[in-house]
Structure 1
């Protein structure tokens, strides 16, 4: 998954911290098939979890954890897009237009949800 591959070191650390909120380092290591030492190194920022480890985390995360992790992933993507657009403000690309359409569609869905919840 490209979104995972593009995660920075800080985001990967934050994901580990989310997973350690409700389990011990040993329990997380067992769930991930890693040594407790590896998880300790992740939590101290000495090393960072691989793409495969993050994918495994997504598999074992509960609903709340998954939502927090997805928020981190989206923040990384949005930050990257903002950086590109700020660096190259005159960029014109069909993918940006496609992204605008997707965002408009998501916004429309949210509006419809709030309208139907009022009714």
Structure 2
């Protein structure tokens, strides 16, 4: 998932925190194929999980955790886009229509999956 490469250190830490709310550090480390010391470093913000570790996190997450992790990722990416557009009005003007198309398409797919259209 290309988007994972673009998430912040804070979002990565939040993903680990979410997974730790249902497992011990040792259990999570075993599931992710890393050391418990790495989990401690992630939790304290000393280092952050790699893209590969985040992908593994998604693969080991249960359905509820996966929804929360995906929400963390989307919220992080959206806030990054908003920050870029807010600080660069010219880019915002050029890309606003494209963003509107994407949002409309996502809305249509969501409505369709619920049987509304």
Separation in 1, partners of 2:34, 2:109? 40
Q: What is residue 26 of structure 2 aligned with on the other side? A: 26
- How far is the alpha carbon of 1:84 from its aligned partner? 1.5
Count of aligned pairs: 115
2:41 matches 1:36 = no
The alignment partner of 1:90 has SS state of helix
Report the alpha carbon displacement of residue 21 of structure 1 after superposing the two structures with TM: 0.8
Corresponding residue for 1:97? 97
CA drift of 1:106 comes to 2.5
Q: What is the rounded CA distance, in whole Å, between the counterparts of 1:85 and 1:114 in structure 2? A: 34
Select the structure of larger CA radius of gyration. Answer: 1
In structure 1, the partner of 2:8 is 8
RMSD: 1.9
CA distance in 2 between counterparts of 1:101 and 1:16 reads: 33
Aligned-partner Cα distance in 2 for 1:30–1:11: 21
In 1, distance between residues paired with 2:77 and 2:59?
A: 21
* Residue matched to 1:77: 77
Query: Which runs of at least 4 in structure 1 moved beyond 6 Å after TM superposition?
Result: none
- Could you tell me how far 1:110 is from its partner in structure 2? 4.5
Q: Distance in 1 between matches of 2:32 and 2:110?
A: 35
TM-score (norm 1): 0.84
Instruction: Give 1:65 shift.
Output: 0.7
Normalised to the residue count of structure 2, the TM-score between the two structures is: 0.85
Larger deviation: 103-112 or 58-67? Answer: 103-112
